[in-house]
Structure 1
Amino acid sequence: MKQLGIIGAGAIGLKHAEAAREAGAAVRWVVDINLEKAHALAEKFGGEPCESIAPAINDPATDAIIVGVPNHLHREFAVASLDAGKDVLLEKPMALNAAECAEINAAAVRNGRVLQLGFAHRYTAVGRLARQIVDEGRLGEIYHAQAHLHLRRGVPGLGKWFTTKSISGGGALIDVGVHLIDLSLWILGHPEVVDVNGQVYSTFGRRMRDYVYKDMWAGPPDWDGVCDVEDAAHALVRFRNGSTLDLNVAWAGNFPEQAMPVSMMGFFGDRGGMTFELFGDHATVTSERDGALVDERFEAPEAELYRDQLAAFLQSMDTRQVTGATGLDGEVVQRIVDDIYRSSLPRPAALQA
């Protein structure tokens, strides 16, 4: 049975601990600077609680480390774990920028370790179904894809680390946008990126105390804290083969409550088109049949994304071949994110009041 160290005893650490139990692995260490949280997780799932990563990564009996901490610590903890000879499952986003991603990948290569990224949407039932439909050639040559996700009022922990750029690296784009980018690239078969152009918007955080919301995950808000990240991003990604990806993501916006789906993925080819919702139970394929357009519903099989993601990681540890998202996949996603930030024009001062 593989012995795992979990760094970060928050909500994502809990998901990984549950997944470890379901996938047949054991939690050996639980690391968190909040020792009370580490104890709570360890009491439920086993393992030794501690405040420092040193005991976990230097323990010869630890087979792998799962890193699920604020983004600015990803590079430091991943590199330290890899240099200590541990395989690593690293939560998204891979790091704050592509340069940090390259450092992590270099550490994995020089130590001959398995590095897998936590792009869990590859393991949803509908995500895997969509990839299967494309692989079967039902859409033909895909020329355009759309990846949209909007939250009506979903800024997480306003004023805390999620909205502090020095810690998070950005807002909605680097938080949830990376999931859409990776899932799109994976379904498309990882075409080569040649151009990225986008715009990010910081609308609601500029006047934090006026932000209206019903609930807030990672909350409650810290009204005296910082919000210097975007709450929405839009981009067009162009690929070498001539296809494109239209990306739209928002933590918050003045969206009607039920008039539009929260998420929608679309892939359009010369033989058919496919649409599905990120957490949906089916995909719809539109194609020509007997001189008419026909919509066909494909049901997604059951799946548990975190369990299945961890099972894939355990398999990768055995085979020494990553079957999930690789470090290079993570670096490509981060380069797209970096390019969107670089290409975004600043908001005119006259409109910021």
Structure 2
Amino acid sequence: MLRLGIIGAGAIGEKHAEAAAAAGLQVAGVVDQNLDQAERLAVQHNAYAASDCESLWGDSSIQAVVIAVPNSLHRPLAVDAMRAGKDVLLEKPMGLTATDCDELVELAEDSGRILQVGYAHRFTSVGRAAKQCVLAGDLGQIYHAKAHLHLRRGIPGLGKWFTTKSLSGGGVLIDAGVHLIDLAQHLMGYPRTATVSGKAYSVFGVKMREYVYESMWAGPPDYQGTFDVDDHATALVTFEDGATLDLQVAWACNLPQASAPDSMFALLGDRGGVSFELFGDHLNLRTESEGRNTERRVELPEADRLVLQIEDFAGAVATRRYGTGATPTQARDVQSIVDLIYHSSDANQVVYA
């Protein structure tokens, strides 16, 4: 049985611990700077708690760790974990910039450690079914992808680390947009980026006290804190094979609910097309058959993406081979596109990869 350490006992760390237990793995240690918080999670899993990672690094019975902490800590903690001989499931994003990622890619290769990045939408029912459509050739040559997520009032932790660029690396683009970029890359076969035209906006969060919300992940807001990140981003990414990605992502916007669902992902190919909502329970598939255009709805079974992800990670640890999960190079490519979108927005022009 794989024995895990959980680094970060907040909401995401708790979800990873629950997923590990459901997958039959053992959560052996929990670390959080807030020892009380670490102890609350540890007691649920009969694990030990600590306020620093030294106990994990020195525990040879713990083979791997899950890192679920603010973005600015991803690189240094992943470096320390791999140097201590641990395999790592690292929450997204891989780092604040592609340069951060370069160090992790090199260290994982040199040390022989598994470093899987937590792009869990690969493991949803819709994500897995869409991949099967691609592999089966149902879509033919994919030439365009649409990846849209519009949260009407979804800014997380307003004024805290989520909205402080030095700690997060950015706003909605690096928080939610990376999931969409990764899923597009995963489904399209990891095409190489050619050009990016993008724009990042800061519209709602900058007016902290005027921001009207109904709920808030990682809330309540800290009105004395910082908001210096994007809450809406859009981009057109062109790949070297000629395919394109239309990316639209918002933490907050005034798009009427009747105009579009919260999320929509679509792949367009020369033989067929598929669309779905990111947390949906079905695919919409359009194909050509016997000289006719046909559409059908494909119902899908429920799946727990975090359980499937950590099972995939455990398999990679056991076999020393990556499965479905994001490899260091793939995760680095996602961050490179994020960097290019921010660069394009700042320069107000198309940028080249």
TM-score normalised to structure 1 length: 0.96
**1:325 aligns to what SS in structure 2?**
coil
**Counterpart of 1:313 in structure 2: which amino acid?**
F
Structure 1 position 287 matched with structure 2 position 287: yes
Pairwise CA distance, 1:286: 1.3
Supply the distance in 2 between the matched residues of 1:343 and 1:277 (Cα, whole angstroms).
28
Partner residue, 1:52: 52
The CA RMSD over aligned residues, in Å, is: 1.2
Equivalent residue, structure 2, for 1:333: 334
Whole-angstrom distance in 2 between the partners of 1:318 and 1:206: 47
Query: 1:292 deviation in Å?
Result: 4.1
Confirm whether residue 342 of structure 1 aligns to residue 343 of structure 2: yes
Secondary structure of the 1:191 match is coil
Q: 1: CA distance between counterparts of 2:88 and 2:290?
A: 51
Uncovered stretches (5+) of structure 2, i.e. residues with no partner: 349-353
290 and 43 in structure 1: CA distance in 2 versus 1, 3 angstrom threshold: same
Q: 1:109 Cα deviation (Å)?
A: 1.5
**Any residues of structure 2 matched to 1:105-120 within 5 Å, and which?**
105-120=105-120
SS at match of 2:195: strand
- 1 CA distance for matches of 2:310 and 2:100? 24
Deviates more, 1:138-147 or 1:338-347: 338-347
- Match of 1:264, SS state, is strand
- The answer for the alignment partner of 1:265 in structure 2 is 265
Output the amino acid matched with 2:329.
Answer: L
CA shift, 1:172, in A, is 0.2
Asked if 2 retains the 8 angstrom alpha-carbon contact of 1:115 and 1:322, the reply is no
Q: Given the superposition, is the C-alpha separation of residues 345 and 100 from structure 1 closer, same or farther in structure 2, using an over 3 Å criterion? A: closer
Q: Which amino acid aligns with 1:29?
A: G
Query: Which residue of structure 2 aligns with residue 7 of structure 1?
Result: 7
Distance, in Å, in 2 between the alignment partners of 1:160 and 1:276 is: 32
Find the aligned partners of 2:288 and 2:61 in 1 and give their Cα distance.
57
- Tell me how far 1:306 sits from its aligned partner: 0.6
Instruction: Output aligned runs, 1:241-280, within 5 Å.
Output: 241-280=241-280
Structure 1 letter corresponding to 2:273: G
Q: CA deviation at 1:66?
A: 0.6
Aligned equivalent of 2:234: 234
Q: How many angstroms does 1:208 deviate by?
A: 1.2
Shift of 1:57: 1.7
Distance in 1 (CA, whole Å) between partners of 2:212 and 2:42 is 37
Aligned to 1:190: 190
- Measure the CA separation in 2 of the matches of 1:259 and 1:43: 46
Counterpart Cα distance in 2 of 1:203 and 1:256? 17
Contact persistence 1:57–1:65 (CA under 8 A): no
| Alignment check: 8 A CA contact 1:266 1:274 kept | yes
2:154 paired with 1:140 = no
Deviation by residue 1:71-121 (Cα, 9 ceiling, x = unmatched): 000000000000011000000011100011111112212211111010000
Inter-partner Cα distance in structure 1 for 2:234 and 2:309: 28
Q: Distance in 2 between matches of 1:113 and 1:315?
A: 13
What secondary structure sits across from 1:248 in the alignment? strand
CA contact (8 A) 1:156 1:162 kept: yes
Q: How many angstroms apart in 2 are the aligned matches of 1:203 and 1:105?
A: 35
Superposed structure 1 runs of 4+ greater than 6 Å apart: none
**Which whole-Å CA distance do the structure 1 matches of 2:334 and 2:74 have between them?**
15
1:211 pairs with 2:235 = no
TM-aligned CA deviation for residue 258 of structure 1: 3.8
Matches of 2:287 and 2:26, distance apart in 1: 47
* Match of residue 350 from structure 1: none
Q: Which residue does the alignment assign to 2:351?
A: none
Structure-1 separation of matches of 2:195 and 2:260: 29
Q: Structure 1 residue 301: deviation in Å?
A: 2.9
The whole-number CA distance in structure 2 between the counterparts of 1:187 and 1:251 is 24
What residue is the counterpart of 1:168 in the other structure? Answer: 168
Residues 314-323 or 103-112, more deviating: 103-112
Asked if structure 1 preserves the Cα contact closer than 8 Å seen for 2:126 and 2:279, the reply is yes
Q: Between the two proteins, what is the percent identity of the paired residues?
A: 54
- How many residues align? The count is 347
- Correspondence for 2:301: 301
Superposition deviation, residue 288 in structure 1: 2.9
2: CA distance, partners of 1:302 / 1:219: 29
* Residue matched to 1:154: 154
**1:295, 1:39 → 2: CA distance?**
52
Give the residue type in structure 2 aligned to 1:328: T
Deviation at 1:58, TM superposition (A): 1.8
One-letter amino acid of the structure 2 residue matched with residue 203 of structure 1: V
1:321 aligns with 2:321: yes
More displaced 10-residue stretch of structure 1: 335-344 or 290-299 = 290-299
CA–CA distance in structure 2, aligned partners of residues 172 and 346 of structure 1: 19
CA distance in 1, matches of 2:74, 2:11: 16
Q: Which amino acid aligns with 1:306?
A: L
Q: Specify the alignment match of 2:16 in structure 1.
A: 16
Measure how far apart 1:194 and its partner are: 1.3
Are the counterparts in 2 of residues 154 and 216 from structure 1 also a CA contact under 8 Å? yes
Instruction: Measure the CA separation in 1 of the matches of 2:322 and 2:115.
Output: 7
1:326 and 1:132 map into 2 onto residues whose CA distance is: 20
